[in-house]
Amino acid sequence: MKIFRKIHKISELGMSTKEKQRNVNVSEVFHLWNHLVQRYNVIYITDTLVTFARDEDLKIILNTGKKTLVGHIGTLEKEMIAYGIPLPIRPPKHTQTTSHAEQISDRYIFRRVLRGIQSFLPTHTMAFVHSTSPAIRELFMSFLIEEMKLYDKFVEYGKIKGYEIVPPMYRV
């Protein structure tokens, strides 16, 4: 796949934005735009949740996740600019929190983030499936693989902290 991506990138070197747009389909444009919008939203939510987190480990994990998202945003914005796709409006840089921080527990934050990661997995998969460009397909595949690795680590963290929802035992 990397060979096809490199060939695709080389073939686009001398192209104008209008010519590059012929190499991307409308579904890919939607998925690029949608991924960027979702990352903007997740960073906004993460900034809010970090202020409520009490556990230092959870704060570190949330900030590490934010760094990953910021990297994805840079990659997505660069790709969208290359194809002349309009960028969505960014959320505010800083969030204001309410004064009722005691209502939001670390367990709630863990479960909220876990559910968010779970909801992104099918989003990455569908973006990959709908992409015809090797470079864009590889981008979405890298997002999917990275998200799966994050999910795996986050589930293990939740087990250590006792945050996971444990289903009842099934006995034969």
Per-residue pLDDT of the chain (172 residues; tens, 9 = 90+): 567 666 666 766 666 667 666 778 899 999 999 999 999 999 999 999 999 999 999 999 999 999 999 999 999 999 999 888 999 998 877 766 665 666 789 999 999 999 999 999 999 999 999 999 888 999 999 999 999 999 999 999 999 999 988 888 887 6
Q: Give CA–CA dist 111/117, Å, rounded.
A: 10
The full set of domain ranges for the chain reads 26-161
**pTM for the full predicted model:** 0.83
> What backbone phi and psi angles, to 5 degrees, belong to 93?
-65, -35
Q: How far is CA 4 from CA 11, 26, 74, in A?
A: 10, 21, 23
What is the per-residue pLDDT for 99? Answer: 59
Contact (CB, 8 A) for 28 and 138: no
Q: What is the domain class of 26-161 according to CATH?
A: mainly alpha
| pLDDT computed for residue 109 by the predictor | 95
Distance (Å) of CA 82 to CA 21, 85, 122, 136: 9, 8, 26, 12
DSSP 13: T
Beta carbons within 8 Å of 160's beta carbon, 6+ residues apart: none
pLDDT for the residue 61: 96
